[in-house]
Structure formats: structure tokens, C-alpha cells
Amino acid sequence: MTEKVHITIDGRTLDLPVLESTEGLNVVDVRGLIAEGIFTYDPGFLSTAACDSKVTYIDGDAGILLYRGYPIDQLAANSNHLEVSYLLLNGELPNEQELAEFEQEITNRMPVDKHFQHIFDGFTKDSHPMSMICAAVSGLASLYHEGFDIYNAEHRRDAALNLIAKIPTLAAMTYKKSQGEEFVDPDPSLNYAENFLHMCFGTKGEAPNVSPTIAAAMDRIFILHADHEQNASTSTVRLAGSTEANPYAAIAAGIAALWGPSHGGANEAVLDMLSEIGDESEIENYVGKAKDKNDPFRLMGFGHRVYKNFDPRATVMQDSCHAVLDELGVEDPLLKVAQKLEKIAREQEYFIERKLYPNVDFYSGITFKAIGIPVSMFTVLFTLGRMPGWITHWDEMLSEPFKIGRPRQLYLGPHARDYTDIKQR
């Protein structure tokens, strides 16, 4: 029996159906309100479900994150990024043959057309890597546009494989460009994370030399970033995709949204913040700034729209961070500042009552720094990890009937008025 919600406006009672979820909150279907001349109002979408989806589920209070029903800690401990990509795209874990074929397909598609690589000639050593990766992914649309039918499932799968395969290569190219070094081609003998590290830190023409521990930690970080339901960048991909835009362009829109320090840009902002704080003696001063309503400073890497207990990814990320630092024997003073900051945030009322806990970005930045990734590259790594999630949501939307996203507004502007000649103004 479908529940209903009754709202009474101007003496009229409207019955709105309640749609039931398999996990988490049910939703009130407000689509019928426009016929009654009524809008809902929810800037920032705090109480709005923009779509239905079967991909990822987050329980913010319980600190639960499921990819197609599988808990993130189990996937991080037992799976790898390409198997997780297969799971997100197809809805089920692959058997051995399916995984082998998928991995081979991705390996075969990792190389980027030599002519296309000249897109990087337009940038300088100082160009921000997020600007480069956004342009490069958007540029892929120039290779895969003619004849692309977004309603053809095979065409959509081809785009998904291309994007998952080429994002590590393009990401490594942005790194090499920022270092002023020659690009390194992918090596088909390496796994996904090893190949990315080889293309970043290897030298053209030389045999790969990648630490298995670092590659395993990097692969785990990609898993943690693979999807996160309707976050700002995924919602951007869905909105851009709802206009029937080229998928590479829709994904580039998501990359642009991810760049912001309130979203994926936070991992870069965390390092900038820790460096600005400098050492433990300055922490109280900065915590005071974070609490000060008149000060725009926020503790980057803390807080989350959905997680109000803890971010399960941060817990796994912290373990990876320690594994990498132990492997490299790195005594990073910024880690000590980070650990002291986390302790203070867990003890002080301001953070506890606002449920501000470390999120996935808090430890990822320290880990990337220890590996030798420049701070400006951190959000590019987030882009790499999130690629399967974005393209899965795009594909999910396109595989069912959908409408172009077109929000309405609460208008607060002037009433209608007549144009006046400039001499009368």
C-alpha cells in the first residue's frame, strides 16, 4: 500500500505519493505540484532527491557506503579499482573471465592518440593540472562525436571503457607537462595503478620501476573515490547529460565541478591549510578562525553534507596513509599537525555539535604528498578515481526514460515595468 503525504494549501488538500526506497529514506513525489501551480524550494538540495539510482548508497549517520550493495571497507580490503569499476558499471562483481576481459579491454584502450597529445602544447609548466585534465577530457569529444548515439547501449559502453582507460594516461600527461618532462606511454605488462605511477614517475624508454606497496595504496585510494551517489560533480554530469550532450563533454563538466575546494579540490586545500598552519603551536589559532562566523576560514577536510558520524573512507584512507608513510619512512611534520587537528576537532564542542569529522580528503592529501605527487595534482587523482562513478551515473540515466534537468526558482526581482528613454533616467 503506497503511503501518501497530504498538504493543504488555500483550503485545498493535495495527496502526494511516497516512493519507497530499498535502503534509507523514502521520498515524497512532488511532481504533481506544478499542476497545482506550486514549486518546492530547496537551494543546495539538502532535502531533495533529484533522481532514483541503484548505484551507491550512503547512510550518513551510520557511516555506511555501499557500491552496488558492497561495503566500501570490504571492497577496499579485497578488490581493485578495475574490478570496482566493472561492479559499478554492470551492477555485479565479475567472474574471473569477465574481469580478465575487462582488464584487457582497458589496457588496450589506455594509449592516447599521438596527434591528440598536442592538446597539451597549449599549456605551460605552470598551468593548473585540473585545467589541463578538464580540457583534455573535453577534447576527447572531438575524437568520439560523429555518429555517437547516446541511446545506443554499445556506444555508451564504448565511451565508458574509453574514459576509464584513458583518464590515467591523460592524468599522467598533466603531471609530466607540469614537470616539463616527456610523456611516458602505458606499459601493457602493468596493472592499472602501477601503469599510472609508471607514466608519472617513469622515464620514456626505460623499464618500469614501481613500488607494489605504493601502487596498492594508490589503487585503494582510487576505490575510495570511485563513486558517492549524487554529489555535486556527479549531479553536474547528470544535468549536462540530460541535455543529450556528448558524454565526454558531460564528464568534463563534472571535472570542472569537482575542482572547487568545497568538493574534490578539498584535498589540495587540506595541504595548503596544513602548510599555512605550519606547526602544532599555531593550531589553536586556526581552530579559532574556523569557529569565527566572521572569518571565511574553514578546516579543509572536515565536514560533509551527508556523513554526520564519520566518513568510512577516511578510516580506510588513514590506514593507507600510515602504510605509505611507513613504507617510505616519511616523518611528515604536517601529519603530526593533521593528527593534532583531528584530535582537537573530536574534542571541541563546536565540531561535535556540528558533526564535523575528517572526510576522505583529509588524509588523501598527506598520502599523495608522501608519494611525491605535487599538491596541484591531488584533485586530478580524485578525478581519476571518480571516473567510473560519473560514467556509470550518466549511463544509468541514459538507459531509462529521462527528462532534461530544468529547476525553477523563487523570483524576488522587480515587478514588470516599462522601458524608459535614456534622457528620462
> Least CB distance from residue 237 to ligand SDX, whole Å?
12
Helices (H) and strands (E) in the chain, counts: 16, 6
Q: List interacting residues with ligand SDX (CB under 6 A).
A: 228, 231, 262-264, 266, 290, 298-306, 354, 356, 359-361
Shorter beta-carbon distance to ligand SDX: residue 96 or 349: 349
Which amino acid is located at 113 in the chain? D
Catalytic position from the list 128, 155, 263, 322: 263
Measured CA to CA, the distance from residue 289 to residue 8 in angstroms comes to 45
What is the rounded CA–CA span in Å between residue 32 and residue 40?
A: 11
Largest CA distance in the chain: 79
Measured from the CB atom, the residue of 186 and 241 that comes closer to ligand SDX is 241
Indicate the residue among 202 and 265 with the shorter CB distance to ligand SDX: 265
Query: How far out from the chain centre does Cα 139 lie?
Result: 20
Q: How far is the CB of 343 from ligand SDX (least distance, A)?
A: 16
| CB-based burial, 223-235: b 16+ in 10 Å, e otherwise | bbbbbbbbbbbbb
Q: Quote the CA–CA distance of 165 and 176 in Å, as a whole number.
A: 18
Beta strands at 12-19 and 70-71: parallel, antiparallel or unpaired: unpaired
d(CA 108, CA 165): 8
Pick 99 or 232: Cβ nearer ligand SDX: 232
In whole angstroms, how close is the CB of 31 to ligand SDX at the nearest point? Answer: 24
**Do 244 and 380 meet the contact criterion of CB atoms below 8 Å apart?**
no
Nearest distance from C-beta of residue 263 to ligand SDX, angstroms: 4
Residues ≥6 apart with Cβ < 8 Å to 385 = 81, 221, 222, 223, 224, 225, 226
User: Measured from the CB of residue 344, what is the shortest distance to ligand SDX in angstroms?
Assistant: 12
Nearer to ligand SDX among residue 343 and residue 354 (C-beta): 354
Nearest to 172 by CA among 225, 141, 216, 208: 208
List 219, 361, 393, 395, catalytic entry: 361
Our answer to whether residue 322 is catalytic in this structure is: no
Q: Residue 352 has which C-alpha cell? A: 561535535
Active-site residue, selected from the candidate residues 225, 228, 304, 393? 304
Nearer to ligand SDX, 47 or 262 (CB): 262
Q: Output the smallest distance, CB 162 to ligand SDX, in A.
A: 23
Pick 129 or 303: Cβ nearer ligand SDX:
303
- Reply yes or no on whether 304 is catalytic: yes
Q: Which residue is closest to ligand SDX by CB?
A: 303
Give the whole-angstrom CA distance, residue 69 versus residue 66: 5
How far is Cα 186 from Cα 113, in angstroms, rounded to an integer? 12
Backbone angles phi, psi at 251, to 5 degrees: -65, -40
> What's the min distance (Å) between Cβ of 265 and ligand SDX?
8
Residues labelled catalytic:
263, 304, 361
